[in-house]
Structure 1
Amino acid sequence: MKKIAIIPARGGSKRIPRKNIKFFLGKPIIAYSIEAALKSNLFDEVMVSTDDKEIAKIAIEYGAKVPFLRSEVNSNDVATTIDVIAEVIEAYKKVGQVFDYTCCIYPCAPFVTEQILTSSYKKLKFDNLDCVFPVLKYGHPIQRALKVLVNHRIKMIAPENMQLRTQDLEASYHDLGQFYMFKTDKMITQNRLWNDNTGYIELKEIESHDIDTVDDWEMAEFKYKYLKNVK
């Protein structure tokens, strides 16, 4: 069973310039994803899909392969993760390399570890799933969510839950956007990252942080340092 880790990292980034290679506690943030994939010893190939020569150079320095640069059509703002993965899988197929399992690890995911990747693969394989990805439970029931009206007043989205106790409401989860591990053929044929035969790895709040702004970046560094000190 051959496995590939694909780290999609294009050069453009509007909110945080050069985000994918910006230094996160002493090294380019993409290095964390590369190192986690390599340390897991799961993958026959760890590669970075990029349109940017500087990103490619850094990726290679940290041990990933960059056998080709991403096509122009898959380097714009509207290209999807599936488009990028499909391009990589097809390129490898043309040179005789076919992978049974694929793991798409995002470049700004410093909280991903080799242990989390290994646990995800075991769950994927032994539970006969098509995909596994990490999730986090919402800290407060989404059934009690609020919305702001045009007159600057506040209202419950589902007012029927007003009198219900929060502990009686079903827990909800969200995708952490760190990685997806899946059977390659399922993703290619169905043209989707995950389907109804998908499992999950539940992480703790301290094990993740979405990074979209400079404030997010600083908070992620704070949480990462705290997490490593605790361990």
Structure 2
Amino acid sequence: MTRICTICARGGSKGLPRKNLRPLLGKPLLAWTIEQATASGLFDLIAVSSDSDEILSVARRYGAGHTVKRPDEFSGDTAAKVFAIRHCLLDAEAALGRLSDIVVDLDVTSPLRTQGDIAAAIRLLEDSGAPNVITGAPARRSPYFNLVEVGLDGVAQLSKRHTNLVTRRQDGPACFDMNAAIYVWQRDTFVERPEVFYDDTRFFEMPSARSIDVDTEVDFELLEILMRRQLEEST
């Protein structure tokens, strides 16, 4: 069973400039994910894709087995990440000299996941035979109770109606926030049709404390607090 890990890190970021290289407890944010993937022992190759030469240099310094210069067509603000992942995967397979069975993408901005989370998500894919697995945590807001949409006319309505009146968030169907921490795909399915949702997509639940996805300054400050606590608890 051959597994390739992709890590995609653009040089540009509107919400938090240079966030992929921002220092987190003594090393770049990117480094945490590379070192975690390496320490897991789950992958035949760890490949980092970026449009930034600086990021690729940092990736090699922290142990990436292969780096991929991302084409402009996959680097813009409107480019879908799945196509960058596929480009990285195909380049990595060429370098490895064989095709993978499973591709796992780890997001740089969600470093609080554990090696156990990665292994469990892969195991869910292998045991279920599903095309892919996504990860997330229980949602703080429910589309059936307190998540609203505002129309062009200014009218606010619940995002989703239920057949029964939901008077407490806990009474609605369980809802989850995707945390971008781990994406796992069957290789052939993904290469043929790179998507996040298929008819039989499976979900691996992670706790909220391991589900911070950094996009703002506040996110990063919270990440530092939780990362420091996670490290203290592991020693």
TM-score by length of 2: 0.87
Code of the aligned partner of 1:70 = R
Quote how far apart the aligned CAs of 1:131 are.
1.1
Quote how far apart the aligned CAs of 1:172 are.
0.8
Q: CA, structure 1 residues 73+169, in 2 after alignment: closer, same or farther (shift >3 Å)?
A: closer
Quote how far apart the aligned CAs of 1:165 are.
3.9
What CA distance in whole angstroms lies between the structure 1 residues aligned with 2:18 and 2:159? 38
Q: Within 5 Å, give how 1:26-175 maps onto structure 2.
A: 26-94=26-94, 96-147=97-148, 156=158, 164-175=167-178
The answer for the alignment partner of 1:187 in structure 2 is: 190
Task: Out of 102-111 and 69-78, give the one that drifted further.
Answer: 69-78
Code of the aligned partner of 1:2 = T
Give CA deviations for 1:168-224 in whole Å, capped at 9, x if unaligned: 321111211112011111111123133122222211111121211111110111122
Which residue of the other structure, out of 222, 229, 232, is the alignment partner of 1:229?
Answer: 232
Quote how far apart the aligned CAs of 1:23 are.
0.6
Q: CA, structure 1 residues 166+52, in 2 after alignment: closer, same or farther (shift >3 Å)?
A: closer
SS in 1 for 2:180: coil
What CA distance in whole angstroms lies between the structure 2 residues aligned with 1:49 and 1:108? 14
Give CA deviations for 1:94-149 in whole Å, capped at 9, x if unaligned: 55431111011111121122111111111111122221121111134331125486
SS in 1 for 2:4: strand
Code of the aligned partner of 1:3 = R
Corresponding pairs, count: 231
Quote how far apart the aligned CAs of 1:153 are.
8.6
Contact preservation (8 Å) 2:143, 2:158: no
Quote how far apart the aligned CAs of 1:228 are.
3.4
What CA distance in whole angstroms lies between the structure 2 residues aligned with 1:227 and 1:164? 36
Q: Which runs of 5+ in 2 are unaligned?
A: none
Give CA deviations for 1:27-55 in whole Å, capped at 9, x if unaligned: 11111111111111110000100121111
SS in 1 for 2:69: coil
What CA distance in whole angstroms lies between the structure 2 residues aligned with 1:80 and 1:119? 26
What CA distance in whole angstroms lies between the structure 1 residues aligned with 2:92 and 2:225? 39
Code of the aligned partner of 1:145 = N
Is 1:178 matched with 2:200?
A: no
Contact preservation (8 Å) 2:45, 2:92: no
Alpha-carbon RMSD across the aligned residues, in angstroms, is: 2.4
Contact preservation (8 Å) 1:82, 1:191: yes
Contact preservation (8 Å) 1:56, 1:66: no
Contact preservation (8 Å) 1:145, 1:158: no
Contact preservation (8 Å) 1:2, 1:100: yes
What CA distance in whole angstroms lies between the structure 1 residues aligned with 2:159 and 2:74? 38
Contact preservation (8 Å) 1:32, 1:109: no
Identity %: 27
Q: Which runs of 5+ in 1 are unaligned?
A: none
Task: Out of 32-41 and 193-202, give the one that drifted further.
Answer: 193-202
The answer for the alignment partner of 1:206 in structure 2 is: 209
Which residue of the other structure, out of 215, 221, 232, is the alignment partner of 1:218?
Answer: 221
SS in 2 for 1:177: strand
